[in-house]
Every structure is written in C-alpha cells, then in structure tokens.
Chains A and B, each alone.
Chain A
Amino acid sequence: MLEVDSLSLAYGLHRALDKVALTVGSGEIVCILGANGAGKSSLLKAIAGLLPSLPGKRVMLGDRDLSRLPAHRIVECGLALVPEGRGIFGELTVAENLLLGANPKRARDGEAARREEVLTLFPRLRERLHQTVRTMSGGEQQMVAIGRALMSRPDVLLLDEPSLGLSPAMVHELFATLQRVREAGLGLLLVEQNASESLRIADRGYVLENGVIIDHDTANNLKRKPAVQRAYLGG
C-alpha cells in the first residue's frame, strides 16, 4: 500500500539517507532496525513530508502520489506519523488532542465511532479526557499521540520510537495495542530501539545502516541472523 522508492536526504554535505526503498502492505507491521544516527527518524519524517528530501524520490500511497505534497496534505491522504517525542499538544486536553486528530477532512465521517474505538483501545484516556496532556505520564502521553494519529483515519501509521521512556510493562501493553490496530487493516511502519519487542510483532523488517538499507527479510529470518543478533538483540 505504501511504496517508497529512491528516497535520499542530506543535511548539508552529509548524506543521511541514500536511495531508500521500502513497502508496507495493509494489515502489515514492518519495522526498521538501526543504530542511533542511522537515519531512522529522518526516514519517517521525510516520508511524512516534514523534512525536505533530495529530488527523485517517489512516495506512493495506494494510487496517490505523495512525493511533492506538504506535510498537512499528506495526512489528508491517509498517512499519519507519531513522531519521536510524541508531537502532541501539551497545553491542550486529551479531548482537544483527539478532536484535532480528526481535523483532516477524510476523518470527519464516523468520527464519533472512531473516537469510541480509540477510547476502547486506551481506556485510561477515557478517564482523563479533560486533563491537560503535559501533566500526564510518558505512557499516557504516548497513548494520546497514537490515539490522535488513529483519529485521522490513516491507512498507514508511522511510529517513531513509541516505546521510548516507557516501563517494560507499558511497552508490552503498547505492542499488544499495535497488534490490535493492525488487525483493523492498517499498515504500520515502526522504528524502534527495542528490536526484540518489535521483531516479535513485526511481519517484515529492514536494517538501516548509515542511511542505506543493507538487509530486508521476514521478521523470523532476521531474528535468526547472527549479524542482527549481534547488533540489535544483544546476543
């Protein structure tokens, strides 16, 4: 469903991403493994239109070409990003964040039902609808961020380090939730430091090193590769 091809990105002379290509199908969880500074966050931001990439890239979502659209139009096409550091509106309440999540026109139909689904997915948010987000715990803020992204009725959801700063129990809960989101037919592209958890739920994975994709395989195969075990699974 999501097809990225020839995506390159440079910070000054430093080439952060070099001709990256990847795909995410519907109902599929795809993870990107890579060390700090490998370009994982830049990749997600470039797909979402938040970073200007070098000419020649091709980003297709279904039959829509996102390559030249600004970030706010890309959301309208059905691609939502949950950025690292969450990118939620800390001064606003949970309810207001969810209201804004449904700001894209594509999300207006069935908004109430979707809100209900999100609150069922994250029951804790229902209790705190009128709390200011900045006063909530890291895990709860992550729920707001994912819930807000889901409110935009995305076809593909990009998640940048969703487990960052969460307790192991919360991480577990979060990944179980992501499984349920996938069952609804969404494609998930996941960037994670926590490689063992993400390979556990992922169908496929890409290994990104110094801005280049050096390996691509099913999650089960990746788990067994010695290079992957050494670099990302602490084995």
Chain B
Amino acid sequence: MTNAILTGLMLGGMYALIAMGLTLQYGVARIMNLSYGEVLIAAAFGAQGLFTGWALSPFAGLAFVIPVAFLLNLAIYRVLLSPLVRRARTRDALEVDSILATFGLAFILQGIMLSMFGGAYYSYSYLASPVHLFGETIAANRLAALAVCILLGGSLYLALTQTRGGTAIRAVAVDPAAAQLVAIDVARTAAFTFALGGALVASAGVLISTFLTFSATSGVVFTMKALIVVVMGGVGNMLGCLVAGLLLGVSEALVASLIDPGLTLAVNFALFLVVLLVKPAGLFGRASR
C-alpha cells in the first residue's frame, strides 16, 4: 500500500511535469501539440545515448538535453508553426491548424526514431539500488527522478508566478491583445513559451528514461496522458496540472497494486469522465465566457 502510494506520487509528479509543458504550449502559444510525446521519447533516447555512449549520468545529461530541446522546439515553431500563426484569423482556427500540423509532425518524428532505433524497447540501468523508505523499498532512480521533477516543476511555477517575465507569459494566455498594450511582444513570447514547453517535456523524457522502458512508438501514450491531465486540471492552470497529475498517478498505482495492472488505462479514463461530468471546465478551470 505505502509502496503503491509512493509509486503513484512519483508517477503523478511526472504526469504533472509533462502536462505543465503542454498547458504552456496550448495556453500561451495556442498550439495543441500532438507531437508532444514524441519529443519526450526523443529526449529519452538522447539520455540513453549520452549514458551508454559517454557514461554521462542522465541528471548531468539534462544540462545538455534541455537547451538542445529548447532550440529545436524554437526551430519547429519558427519554421513549421509560425506560418500557421500568421495566416490564422482567430485563435480557434490556429488550434485546428496546429492539431493537423503537429499530428503530421508526430509521424515524422516517430519515423525518424524508428529508422534510427527500430521498434525495440530500450532501457538502461542507472542508480537502480534499493532505498528504504517508510518501511518499504523503492529504487533510488525513482526517488532521484521525483526530486528533480519537483525541483523543475517548482522553479517553473515560481518563475511564472513571482517574476515579471513569468507574469507576462501568463498575461499573453489571458489576453494577447491587451498584452501588446504593456509592451509585450506577443509573437516572441509565444515562440519562447512553445520552446519552454518543449524543453520541459524533454526533461521529463530524460527523467522517465531512468526507470521506464521506452520505444520509438511509445510517445502517443504520453501525449494522451498529458492531454487528460491538462483537460482534467483546467486548461492553462498550473495548480490544476499538479493536482490532476497526482490524482492520475496515485489512482493508477493503487489500482495496479490492489486490483489488476491491466486496469490502469480504464481507471485513467473513468476518472477523466467523472471529472468532466462534474466539472466540465476541469478541476481548476472556469467555464468559458
């Protein structure tokens, strides 16, 4: 039981971190990014390559993966998405266009990874020693991943709520037209935030690669979970991401240990349905005007 809850909190923290990046991209840049999970997997391969090739610890690898992911996502935004932004007459139109474009991008990224790594599952063993906690044993890599996850998510949250730059990012999500009136360059902020979201999901990919097996095609699962968490928590709400992510993680882990591991996806969607029936705008969302 304790072990299940610990595992659940750790999974949930990961889900929350992944969802934070998606909600940034969607809330500020208005890009519904369906290739999101592929970026996560690409980062996982990156961490695996750095570890097996150069014996670089995944946590040190973050210092390399995060800036690379930021720049690559910035390039994706500038080359692939900004033409869509320019031609979109409304934000809703941009949303539809971005779904189609990033759906295609997901296949491209997946195809590249399949051609490079094949369809096999990958994993590597890093910090796999057991740690005793609350009378249970848990792998050290999981605890370390959780600690880094809290550090990254927490510092992002503080940056968004406590600094002028972060407040400006939230202001673009609230009202892009008004944002111009306080000298915010909306186009630049959207590009920056998209890249930031990409860097965040890449860091989640690195953390996840330390304790989960992954393959070139497992990205879509993470896109789905991120979407569920974002919608469940209320689009654009960081606190919602955290609560919904933890809820999802803990319920998954409990069901897997108490009933049957095959039921985790069913529980995911059951929880999702219940939340949407009771609060259609998500746990922390407000009904749209």
Max count, chain A CB within 10 A of own CB: residue among B168, B174, B185: B174
Chain A contacts of B168 at CB under 8 A?
Answer: 100, 103
Chain A contacts of B136 at CB under 8 A?
Answer: none
Interchain CB contact under 8 A, A75 and B182:
yes
Q: Report the bound CA distance from A152 to B183 in whole Å.
A: 9
Chain B contacts of A48 at CB under 8 A?
Answer: 181
The B-contacting residues of A in range 42-57, CB under 8 angstroms, are 48-50
Interface string of B139-173 (1 = CB under 8 A from A): 00000000000000000000000001001101100
In the complex, A72 has a CB within 8 A of chain B: yes
- Tell me, rounded to whole Å, the shortest Cβ–Cβ distance linking B84 to chain A: 20
Given contacts A71-B180, A89-B174, A89-B178, contact A99 B185 (CB under 8 A): no
In the complex, A215 has a CB within 8 A of chain B: no
In the complex, A91 has a CB within 8 A of chain B: yes
Q: Which of A70, A73, A90, A103 contacts B182 (CB 8 A)?
A: A103
In the complex, B93 has a CB within 8 A of chain A: no
Interchain CB contact under 8 A, A72 and B186:
yes
In the complex, B177 has a CB within 8 A of chain A: yes
Interface string of A85-112 (1 = CB under 8 A from B): 0011111100010011111110000000
Interchain CB contact under 8 A, A92 and B171:
yes
Given contacts A87-B175, A89-B175, A92-B174, contact A80 B181 (CB under 8 A): yes
A93 nearest CB neighbor, chain B only = B167
Q: Which of A87, A90, A91, A92 contacts B181 (CB 8 A)?
A: A87
Interchain CB contact under 8 A, B170 and A71:
no
Q: Report the bound CA distance from A104 to B171 in whole Å.
A: 14
Q: Report the bound CA distance from A44 to B167 in whole Å.
A: 27
Interface string of B168-201 (1 = CB under 8 A from A): 1011001101111111111000000000000000
Interchain CB contact under 8 A, A100 and B182:
yes
Interface size class of A (residues with CB under 8 A): 20 to 34
Chain A contacts of B174 at CB under 8 A?
Answer: 89-92
In the complex, A81 has a CB within 8 A of chain B: yes
- Tell me, rounded to whole Å, the shortest Cβ–Cβ distance linking B59 to chain A: 34
In the complex, A161 has a CB within 8 A of chain B: no
Interface size class of B (residues with CB under 8 A): 10 to 19
Q: Which of A73, A80, A88, A152 contacts B178 (CB 8 A)?
A: A88
- Tell me, rounded to whole Å, the shortest Cβ–Cβ distance linking B165 to chain A: 9
Chain B contacts of A50 at CB under 8 A?
Answer: 177, 180-181
In the complex, A204 has a CB within 8 A of chain B: no
- Tell me, rounded to whole Å, the shortest Cβ–Cβ distance linking A90 to chain B: 7
Q: Which of A76, A88, A89, A96 contacts B183 (CB 8 A)?
A: A76
Q: Report the bound CA distance from A125 to B222 in whole Å.
A: 44
Q: Report the bound CA distance from A81 to B170 in whole Å.
A: 20
Chain B contacts of A90 at CB under 8 A?
Answer: 174-175
Interchain CB contact under 8 A, B181 and A83:
yes
Given contacts A99-B164, A103-B164, contact A92 B170 (CB under 8 A): yes
Q: Report the bound CA distance from A92 to B177 in whole Å.
A: 15
Q: Report the bound CA distance from A104 to B186 in whole Å.
A: 13
- Tell me, rounded to whole Å, the shortest Cβ–Cβ distance linking A55 to chain B: 21
- Tell me, rounded to whole Å, the shortest Cβ–Cβ distance linking B261 to chain A: 40
Q: Report the bound CA distance from A70 to B179 in whole Å.
A: 12
A111 nearest CB neighbor, chain B only = B164
Q: Report the bound CA distance from A152 to B164 in whole Å.
A: 14
Chain A contacts of B182 at CB under 8 A?
Answer: 75, 100-101, 103-104, 148, 152
Interchain CB contact under 8 A, B183 and A87:
no
- Tell me, rounded to whole Å, the shortest Cβ–Cβ distance linking B184 to chain A: 6
- Tell me, rounded to whole Å, the shortest Cβ–Cβ distance linking A102 to chain B: 8
Chain A contacts of B186 at CB under 8 A?
Answer: 72
Interchain CB contact under 8 A, B177 and A72:
no
Chain A contacts of B171 at CB under 8 A?
Answer: 89, 92, 96, 100
Q: Report the bound CA distance from A100 to B170 in whole Å.
A: 10
Chain B contacts of A73 at CB under 8 A?
Answer: 183
A85 nearest CB neighbor, chain B only = B178
Interchain CB contact under 8 A, A103 and B184:
yes
- Tell me, rounded to whole Å, the shortest Cβ–Cβ distance linking A47 to chain B: 12
Interface residues of B (CB under 8 A from A): 164, 167-168, 170-171, 174-175, 177-186
Query: Assuming A80-B181, A103-B184, what are 7 further A-B pairs, CB within 8 angstroms?
Result: A71-B180, A71-B181, A87-B181, A89-B174, A100-B167, A100-B182, A101-B182
Enumerate 24 A-B pairs (CB-CB under 8 Å) in ascending A order. Answer: A48-B181, A50-B177, A50-B180, A70-B180, A71-B181, A73-B183, A75-B183, A76-B183, A83-B178, A83-B181, A87-B175, A89-B174, A90-B174, A90-B175, A92-B170, A92-B171, A96-B170, A96-B171, A100-B164, A100-B168, A100-B171, A101-B182, A103-B164, A103-B182
The 4 closest A-B pairs by CB, nearest first: A104-B183, A71-B180, A87-B178, A75-B183
